[in-house]
Structure 1
Amino acid sequence: MKAIITHRYLPRRILSLAVGSPLGQGAQVNEVPIPSITDSEVLVKVCAVALNPIDFKDIDFISPRNSAIGCDYAGEVFRVGKNSEQRWKIGDKIAGFVHGGLYPDIGSFAEYVKVDGDLAWKVPDEMTLGEATTYGVPAATAMLSLAYLDIPWVDIEHGCSGQGTQSTILIYSGGSNVGLFAIQLAKRAGYNVVATASPRSFDLAKRYGADAVYDYRTSASIGEIKKAYPNITKALDCFSEGSSAAFCADVLREGKVVTLLDQGKPKKANVTYTFLMLYTVFGRKFQLMAPLGPVFPVMPADREIISKFYGSLSTLSLDAVRPPPVTMIKGGFKEIFDGLKTLRKGEGRGTKLVIEF
């Protein structure tokens, strides 16, 4: 099969990271073997992929040479391991994400991808595979973040939005793909949602359920939020760069901020930062930019959360958990590379780029 594979050695990746831009093309389309699967895995014929910033970061800086690239996918079940036969059959429409960028045989930017049978979801007939692929990294990150903030899965699964809870959560960068999913899931759990966004994304965040939206670019918003919502104890920082985590900590009376990049320790007393690394759901210990980067342990509880989420996603109301705005592009590997260039330049905001093969 054809797949996008990295070919940059560690010194070149470190140099690219140091200068802040990729030096040359870090990946190419190669002919590689179709992955073999274990009893607990499923082989998927890929029909659509969604692009994430982590994909070009893998190519440019993170991924070791000869790693398969790509995380989000949707497609059709092609082969089923015997332990997954109760859940999947050949021809089922399936979607999810994988830990692309680390292994030679796991990546969604390929004609076939192998996935864990319990970490994928069955796409309903009323949804296209292009839409389904957006429920990968962003949706799973939002779900796991809320779990880290001690929001019970049962409240999201059954929906507590009509019970009138007075609890409020802050979602920084609510117009991002992770933010839009987090807004919807938190609303479904019964929370009031205060979001930050750029003014051009105010309406978008409100359409997805935010009760109030503030401009993250002005420090005056911190005082405005604290005055209107003085008892916030939970925050999700979907940006996790610059002063975003500090902004969240300043808003909180006390409590926890979940960040998507390591932000160190907060300066504010009674506030903690919890760093989330989504790939812990796959039950494998791993290291980023080995042998230099951080090591992440196996975390079975994280897997259980996403397994439950994907196990129920097909039956959740599609009106309650909608995909973000999507830009569908028909094509293949060339269009994937073109889309990653768009993301690399900081363009394509306010939409999710999806390539339909």
Structure 2
Amino acid sequence: MKALISNRNIITRVLNLSLGKSLGQGVELKDVAVPTILDDEILVKVLAVALNPTDFKHIDFISPPHSIIGCDYVGEVAKVGRNAAKAWNIGDRVAGAVHGGIYSDRGAFAEYLKIDSDLAWKVPPGVSDAEATTYGISAISAMLALNVHLGIPWADEPRKAQHRGAVTHPSVFIYAGSTCAGLFCIQLAKAAGYTVVTTASPRSFDLVKRYGADRVFDYRSPNATDEITKEFPNITSAVDCFSEGSSTEFCATVLKKNGGKVVTLLDQGTSKIKGVEYEMIMAYTLFGRAFSLLPPIGPKFEAKPLDRNALARFYASLPQVAKDVKPPPISIVDGGFDGILLGLNQLRRGEVSGSKLVVNL
């Protein structure tokens, strides 16, 4: 099969990391063996993929040579392991995410991929291939942040009956609500009955409101945190979907009065505000395997069975809740594997805003 394979040595990756930019292509289209599946796995013929910043970051800084790149996918089941036959049939439409970029036999930017049979979701007829492929890294990061780390109820849990009289809904703060992860956070929080407060640039106000945000503030306003805390003084939970610059400090300031937890997507160190805790998440812990970033020298992450159980639960429920959790806006990139490289360069240059890039293979 054809697949996009990493080819950077450790010296080039460390140099890229120190410079904060990419030197050379770092990936090439090669013919490699179709992955061999185990009894609990399925083999998927890939039909389309969605692109994430983590894909080019793996190429530039993380992936050891000979690794298949890519996380988000949609496809058809081509082969079923012995233990997976109760849940899957050949020809079923399937979507999800894999930990692309560190394995030689596991990645989405390929004609075939393999995945644990319970860590993928069966795509219902009303969801297109392009839509289905967007419920990958961004969606599962939102789930990990809200349901696992902040303890917000799951989207498929029945809401408690409302009593007569005024009802106060708990509030959650989402920084960068117009990002793909932000849009999924907004929807999952709304499905749990929360009031969602978020930030965006004025041009994205209508977008985040369409996805369920109750109140949106301009993150560039010098009075934004004061305005948020005045209107929503009891927020104790936040997700920073940007996690760069001063974004996490912004979140901590929103939580300053009561304290609480800010979940971040990148390491932001330790909070300087008493009572406010920072907690970084890494979506790859959801796959239940130990791994290392920038191997062999990078930080190591232990296997987290509870995170894996959370991903299995999320994808098992997604066919039912997808009608209430919409995909982000989509931009189709033509060109197959060449289109993937084109789209990744657009992401590198910061040219993509308010949409998810999807490439048909």
TM-score with structure 2 setting the length: 0.96
Tell me the residue number matched to 2:326.
322
Answer whether contact 1:161 1:187 (CA < 8 A) is retained. no
For 2:273 and 2:301, the matched residues in 1 are separated by 26
The two structures, once aligned, show a CA RMSD in angstroms of: 1.2
Aligned counterpart for 2:288 among listed residues 283, 288, 293: 283
Answer whether contact 2:131 2:330 (CA < 8 A) is retained. yes
For 2:128 and 2:359, the matched residues in 1 are separated by 12
Cα deviation, 1:243-275, whole Å, max 9, x if unaligned, reads 111110110121100000011110011111111
Answer whether contact 1:162 1:190 (CA < 8 A) is retained. no
What's the CA shift for 1:116? 1.1
Would you say 1:15 and 2:15 are equivalent positions? yes
What's the CA shift for 1:216? 1.2
Aligned counterpart for 1:211 among listed residues 205, 214, 219: 214
Tell me the residue number matched to 1:311.
316
Aligned counterpart for 2:270 among listed residues 245, 261, 265: 265
Structure-to-structure mapping, 1:177-196, within 5 angstroms:
177-196=180-199
SS of residue paired to 2:308? helix
Aligned counterpart for 2:175 among listed residues 172, 176, 179: 172
Tell me the residue number matched to 2:304.
299
> How many matched pairs?
354
What's the CA shift for 1:159? 5.0
For 2:62 and 2:288, the matched residues in 1 are separated by 20
What's the CA shift for 1:165? 4.6
Tell me the residue number matched to 2:42.
42
What's the CA shift for 1:330? 3.6
Cα deviation, 1:101-133, whole Å, max 9, x if unaligned, reads 001111100000001111100001011111100
What's the CA shift for 1:328? 1.8
Identity %: 56
Structure-to-structure mapping, 1:128-207, within 5 angstroms:
128-147=128-147, 148-153=149-154, 156-158=155-157, 160=159, 163=162, 164-207=167-210
Matched residue type, 2:230: K
Matched residue type, 2:299: P
Cα deviation, 1:133-181, whole Å, max 9, x if unaligned, reads 000001111011102101132xx21353984552000000000000001
Answer whether contact 1:71 1:100 (CA < 8 A) is retained. yes
SS of residue paired to 1:315? helix
TM-score with structure 1 setting the length: 0.97
Answer whether contact 1:161 1:191 (CA < 8 A) is retained. no
What's the CA shift for 1:219? 3.4
What's the CA shift for 1:278? 0.7
For 2:98 and 2:189, the matched residues in 1 are separated by 24
Structure 1: gaps (5+ residues): none
**Using a 3 Å threshold, how does the CA distance of structure 1 residues 52 and 159 change in structure 2: closer, same or farther?**
farther
Tell me the residue number matched to 1:340.
344
Tell me the residue number matched to 1:233.
236
For 1:20 and 1:349, the matched residues in 2 are separated by 21
Structure-to-structure mapping, 1:11-160, within 5 angstroms:
11-147=11-147, 148-153=149-154, 156-158=155-157, 160=159
What's the CA shift for 1:303? 0.9
Aligned counterpart for 1:274 among listed residues 279, 290, 300: 279
SS of residue paired to 2:134? helix
For 2:52 and 2:174, the matched residues in 1 are separated by 19
Tell me the residue number matched to 1:254.
259
For 1:120 and 1:207, the matched residues in 2 are separated by 27
For 2:56 and 2:26, the matched residues in 1 are separated by 9
Matched residue type, 2:332: M
For 2:360 and 2:116, the matched residues in 1 are separated by 22
What's the CA shift for 1:306? 1.2
SS of residue paired to 1:135? coil
